Amino acid sequence: MTFNDLLNLYRNSFVPIYADFVALTAIKPEQVLIEESNILSHLVQHLNREISKELQDENLKKAENHLIRATLDLHKMVWAEIKTRLEPFVFNEKRRLAFSVAEADVYKGYSQFLKLAKEARNYEIAHIGNSPVETILKYEAVNTIGYELLNKIDVFKAKRVKKWSYIFSTKEFILGVLASLCAAGVVYVISILF
């Protein structure tokens, strides 16, 4: 890998997924900050003309390894965050109404999201150290599907569904209490008459 290859990996793979994670969570994960510090340290050594070319190249390789590790970790964290946000809508019949697509499309998209995640993880395990950039691309595909499904949640519709669910559950509670009171009154009247 050349220095320019590393810069391309940084700009085209790391920065977008890091931005996604921060946008989703408003958190900069400590481990990623540590990896960034390690990347910077190795890049500075790569540019250090006082050390041998061999050590410079070795430091570039170490910077690449830290960058790949951080990028993969961010993809997994984004996947987990998307999954956490989707589950309450996918598995709750009332909240599922907030999707702007048919229920069958929700199930299909969520199943695809889980399937691709499993395939990406299996690929990563089978190819550890062999093709990390390909592994990153597989996780990018997973998160693309997740984002597509997440973006199909109509937040305004979700609020209306929540509001109507609350109204109906309150009405059901009140009707239940009234029915109980009426039944108790009937029982009381019958007990007085007999």
What is the number of domains present in the chain?
A: 2
Containing structural domain, residue 186: 155-194
**What's the pLDDT tens digit per position in 105-114?**
999 999 999 9
pTM, two decimals, is 0.78
> Who contacts 63 (Cβ-Cβ below 8 Å, separation ≥6)?
6, 38, 39, 42, 43, 46
Residues paired with residue 99 on neighbouring β-strands, in sequence order: 153
31 and 90 fall within a common domain: yes
164 and 109 fall within a common domain: no
Residue 155: pLDDT above 70?
no
41 DSSP assignment: H
139 and 88 fall within a common domain: yes
Dihedrals phi, psi of 173, to nearest 5 degrees: -65, -50
**What's the pLDDT tens digit per position in 12-35?**
999 999 999 999 999 999 999 999
User: Taking the CB of residue 127, how many other CB atoms lie within 10 A of it?
Assistant: 13
